[in-house]
Structure 1
Amino acid sequence: MNGNGNKRNIAVLIAAFAAVYIFWGSTYLAIKYTIETLPPFLMAGARFAFAGSVLFLLARMSKEYEPPRAEHWRTSFIVGTFLLLGGNGAVVLAQHYISSSLSALLVATEPLWIVILSWLWLRNGRPNWKVIAGLLIGFVGVWLLITGQPETASGPGGRGQYIGTFAVILGALSWATGSIYGLKAPMPRSSIMAAGMQMIAGSVSLLVVGLLRGEHSTFDPATVSANSLFALLYLIIFGSLIGFTAYSWLLKNAQPAMVATYAYVNPVVAVLLGWGIAGESLTAQMLIAAFIIVVSVALITQSKTDGKNEPDLKSVNKTNGSGCDRPAFSTNA
């Protein structure tokens, strides 16, 4: 019995890691297909409204349910706006101009912003040498990414590519800001309830921006492709619902250092999928930059906490609870 139980637990553990690695890593490519024929902000708003409602209902039916208070909703709107409108919205918009691979690699800089904001905002003390090295290496990687885009960046669409690049960087900063804010703000005890509320609140911000941009007036349902619809369903089911459930389970059943590996595995998965399925081009400099960023994230996420000399990245992950494909730092989309 014990042998069978251990095998079953190992199988579940492998499945959970596979879900976080593959599903979250593939969300960038899925976004690429959804925005081909769907309005970006309205699509993202509808996606998180549905996924958030499902999570909220699941939390509502659990035995540990406690009614959310007004302060919980206030936190949800602030955090949800930074994470979903600022973070996810920037990625969705940017992928009109840049590849899903480049988006994923730029999003991988979120741990850099987490460390900087924790130091400056939360006054957690100066980061140790590993974190500082990770920051410096990471920014070198970002610079190589920005300057190493394919030659088409200098053509007619070049300006759009650079706009998309900096939009994702600002989105990563927005996601980090929302994550850090969530550390001190009141939230429900249930991570599923918190995720559902943040998704619902963030979806309102996304839908409002979509309406203000006039996306509804130019949207023609007849032009929506099957690829976009399937990609949207994939984002809702696998990216938000299954991916978040797997991540929540891993936080309770796996070593934090192992769980944190998704932060540098997701970009690799996204790059491989973008290249293999969508035929996205990558220059040698971009591949070198990708490796450098992965190394920098590994240094930051695996560095040991030394008193108050560095931010508690595990706490940022657990408190965030957004379930928006990624927690405090990801893969996101």
Structure 2
Amino acid sequence: MDRSQRRNTWLDVLITALAPAIWGSTYIVTTEVLPADRPFTAALLRALPAGLLLVLYSRYLPKTNQWGRLVILAALNIGFFQALLFVAAYRLPGGLAAVVGAIQPLLVMGLAWALDRQRPASLAVAASAVGIAGMAALLLSPGSSWDALGIAAAFFGTACMAAGTYLTRRWQPKVPLLAFTGWQLLIGGVLLLPVAWLVDPPLPVLSLSHVLGYAYLSIFGALLAYVLWFRGISRLAPVAVSSLGLLSPLVAVILGWALLGQSITGVALLGLIAVLGSILAVQWATTKSSAATQTKPVVAAPHAKVAPCATMAQGDN
């Protein structure tokens, strides 16, 4: 990998990092602006309108042989993940749910090792472990409650997102980026619809701030963020992308400090620095690993055959 390619890779990292940064801002919007106790409705109104807008704009109808994988990815990345995420959020302190979610890079490495025989770089494994420890130091309090159902929901939600990230990169569907994102959000929203209908209470009369809050979640938290996220998956290693997800709770903590007067001191500050260091180390390790791979002769393997990295972005850049 030459200097120009390395520079482009780091630019892709920065662009992709905008997605979890935006997701981190949705915490404060949800808690401070939206009606309370309607988590599945919030997830539904975030995903479904954004999906409809992107599908209508892209005007792309997937081919018959693309629907199966598209539905699986939509369920993993949007439907199941969002539902389990909110179950965990309601049964666990937010910090504990984020710590469980921090294992996602390790899960992606495990999938790549088990299915593609890609042994993870030692630095990436060590950095991911440091990220989990840093997240615990930043967010956990001595009185955190360990609800078994909440822990299970957080773990399986994280596993769904890890599998979705890995399979998105492995399958590389030949679908334009905006359509690929839109159909996933639309299908995921349809999956969330019965859950929101059956579990959440009806919405109250919405104020202007409520409408603006839901609009922000949909336009920025779903439409823009997921386009950037899936663009990143098409260009970067899955482990590199998943490690960037740690930025989401990090941004939430920083916004809480800046806007709500929440403090960051002592061990929590060390944890924040450790998480940032972990993210940078994983990016460095995966970039170095990609460069080493490109210097070796490529041997075709039927089970590892994928489309070019830019497939999903064709026609949309």
Q: Is TM (by shorter chain) over 0.5?
A: yes
**Separation of aligned partners in 1, 2:135 and 2:156:** 13
**Separation of aligned partners in 1, 2:26 and 2:99:** 13
Q: Equivalent residue for 1:270?
A: 252
Q: Equivalent residue for 2:6?
A: none
Letter of the structure 2 residue corresponding to residue 110 of structure 1 = Q
Question: 1:193, CA displacement in angstroms?
Answer: 0.8
SS in 2 for 1:221: coil
**Separation of aligned partners in 1, 2:34 and 2:90:** 8
Q: Are 2:126 and 1:133 equivalent residues in the alignment?
A: yes
**Separation of aligned partners in 2, 1:204 and 1:251:** 24
**Separation of aligned partners in 1, 2:27 and 2:94:** 5
Task: Report if the CA contact (8 A) 2:102-2:246 is conserved.
Answer: yes
Q: Equivalent residue for 1:42?
A: 41
Q: Within 5 Å, which residues of 2 pair with 1:277-296? A: 277-279=259-261, 284-296=266-278
Question: 1:194, CA displacement in angstroms?
Answer: 0.8
Q: Are 2:58 and 1:59 equivalent residues in the alignment?
A: yes
**Separation of aligned partners in 1, 2:135 and 2:231:** 32
Question: 1:86, CA displacement in angstroms?
Answer: 2.9
SS in 2 for 1:307: helix
Letter of the structure 1 residue corresponding to residue 202 of structure 2 = F
Q: Equivalent residue for 1:113?
A: 107
Task: Report if the CA contact (8 A) 2:15-2:228 is conserved.
Answer: yes
**Separation of aligned partners in 2, 1:70 and 1:126:** 35
Q: Are 2:73 and 1:79 equivalent residues in the alignment?
A: yes
Q: Equivalent residue for 1:302?
A: 284
Deviations 1:193-222 (A, max 9, x none): 111111111112211223343x2xx32424
Stretches of structure 2 that go unaligned for 5 or more consecutive residues are 1-11, 297-303
Question: 1:38, CA displacement in angstroms?
Answer: 5.6
Deviations 1:34-55 (A, max 9, x none): 6643622133123211101111
Call closer, same or farther: CA 1:262–1:100 in 2, change over 3 Å. same
Call closer, same or farther: CA 1:93–1:262 in 2, change over 3 Å. same
Call closer, same or farther: CA 1:230–1:164 in 2, change over 3 Å. farther
Q: Equivalent residue for 1:200?
A: 186
Call closer, same or farther: CA 1:190–1:119 in 2, change over 3 Å. same
Stretches of structure 1 that go unaligned for 5 or more consecutive residues are 1-12, 322-333
Alignment identity in percent?
Answer: 25
Question: 1:189, CA displacement in angstroms?
Answer: 2.6
TM-score for both structures, normalised by structure 2 = 0.70
Question: 1:319, CA displacement in angstroms?
Answer: 8.0
Q: Equivalent residue for 1:219?
A: 202
Letter of the structure 1 residue corresponding to residue 68 of structure 2 = R
Question: 1:58, CA displacement in angstroms?
Answer: 1.7
**Separation of aligned partners in 2, 1:87 and 1:31:** 17
Call closer, same or farther: CA 1:262–1:167 in 2, change over 3 Å. same
Q: Equivalent residue for 1:69?
A: 63
Q: Within 5 Å, which residues of 2 pair with 1:86-101? A: 86-97=80-91
**Separation of aligned partners in 1, 2:264 and 2:95:** 8
Task: Report if the CA contact (8 A) 1:144-1:285 is conserved.
Answer: yes
SS in 1 for 2:116: coil
Letter of the structure 1 residue corresponding to residue 117 of structure 2 = N
Q: Within 5 Å, which residues of 2 pair with 1:238-257? A: 238-245=220-227
Letter of the structure 1 residue corresponding to residue 29 of structure 2 = A
TM-score for both structures, normalised by structure 1 = 0.67
**Separation of aligned partners in 2, 1:32 and 1:70:** 41
Question: 1:250, CA displacement in angstroms?
Answer: 7.8
SS in 1 for 2:193: helix
Q: Equivalent residue for 1:149?
A: 141
Question: 1:183, CA displacement in angstroms?
Answer: 3.5
Call closer, same or farther: CA 1:71–1:28 in 2, change over 3 Å. farther
Task: Give the root-mean-square deviation of aligned CA atoms.
Answer: 4.2
